[in-house]
């Protein structure tokens, strides 16, 4: 395409490029039946459906579109590297709430492990991910999310506090609760004895929440018992209580038993 000024130059194509583009991701689809069932269950409108002579599906939800074509041969959805799409929004919490509501209505529960699934959304978090049956990730991101979050722990922190900041990255940006749990557990063993009581308590509370996320209620109780033995000021107790409240909210989101669906 040739960009020209409004007056134009002889011999150049008519018109000029304008910033009014619309982009639509075309993601790989391993199973048309499973993809149609999943997105319909969540309330997506099917705007185009074709399986022969070639596969092409199109969906619309709220103000954006997702399209799907045939997956390349040998694509393994379990690797969760099939494709991806970023959905930029002003606030992510309403989208998470609506998708959760639709998922409960369709499946009777939140699909929190395996494929398909939705990741949890902690209060104040700036993103969450919807994983579909083909291993595609649809990531809802708040527009004002920091452009360069610190991946690996803030340089202004030390010891256990720095490790807990790394845990935050694993949990909220990488959606890897297992890695977050291992990092928090390892840091507590390494730095716990010399760490301030408030940091140790926050580590215990973090491990309570991560245990709930991983479906290990027994471990969550163990960490809660260790937390109860830490002496804190009223201000510190309030800070730790906020983290425990996240664990209770997670239990409610996952269901009364507090356990995530197992693979």
Give domain 26-142's CATH architecture: Roll (3.10)
Predicted confidence (pLDDT) per residue in 191-239, tens digit? 999 999 999 999 999 999 999 999 999 999 999 999 999 999 999 999 8
Residue 5 pLDDT > 60: no
Please give the DSSP secondary-structure letter assigned to residue 36: H
Residues in the chain: 263
Residue 148 pLDDT > 80: no
Residue 11 pLDDT > 70: no
Residue 258 pLDDT > 60: no
State the Cα–Cα distance between residues 231 and 139, nearest whole angstrom: 40
Predicted confidence (pLDDT) per residue in 134-145, tens digit? 999 999 999 998
Strand-strand pairing, 26-29 and 83-89:
unpaired
CATH of domain 159-254: 1.25.40
User: Which residue's entry shows tokens 């830490």?
Assistant: 230
Within 10 Å of residue 115's Cβ, how many Cβ atoms? 17
Residue 170 pLDDT > 50: yes
Residue ranges of domains in the chain: 26-142, 159-254
Residue 175 pLDDT > 90: no
Predicted confidence (pLDDT) per residue in 39-97, tens digit? 999 999 999 999 999 999 999 999 999 999 999 999 999 999 999 999 999 999 999 99
Q: Is 95 in contact with 89 (CB distance < 8 Å)? A: yes
Residue 70 has a pLDDT of: 97
């Amino acid at each position: 395409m040739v960009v020209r000024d409004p007056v134009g130059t002889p011999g150049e194509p008519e018109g000029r490029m304008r910033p009014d583009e619309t982009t639509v991701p075309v993601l790989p689809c391993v199973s048309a039946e499973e993809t149609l069932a999943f997105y319909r269950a969540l309330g997506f409108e099917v705007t185009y459906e074709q399986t022969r002579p070639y596969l092409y599906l199109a969906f619309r939800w709220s103000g954006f579109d997702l399209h799907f074509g045939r997956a390349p041969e040998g694509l393994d959805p379990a690797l969760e590297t099939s494709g991806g799409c970023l959905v930029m929004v002003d606030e992510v919490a309403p989208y998470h709430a609506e998708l959760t509501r639709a998922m409960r209505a369709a499946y009777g529960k939140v699909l929190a492990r395996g494929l398909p699934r939705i990741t949890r959304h902690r209060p104040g978090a700036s993103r969450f991910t919807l994983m579909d049956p083909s291993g595609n990730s649809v990531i809802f991101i708040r527009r004002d999310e920091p452009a360069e979050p610190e991946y690996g722990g803030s340089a202004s922190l030390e010891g256990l506090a720095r490790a807990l900041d790394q845990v935050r990255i694993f949990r909220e940006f990488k959606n890897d609760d297992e890695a977050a749990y291992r990092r928090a557990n390892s840091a507590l063993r390494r730095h716990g004895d010399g760490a301030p009581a408030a940091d140790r308590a926050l580590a215990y509370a973090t491990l309570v929440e991560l245990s709930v996320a991983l479906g290990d209620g027994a471990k969550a109780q163990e960490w809660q018992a260790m937390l109860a033995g830490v002496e804190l000021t009223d201000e510190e107790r309030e800070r730790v209580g906020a983290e425990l409240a996240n664990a209770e909210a997670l239990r409610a989101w996952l269901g009364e038993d507090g356990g995530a669906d197992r693979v």
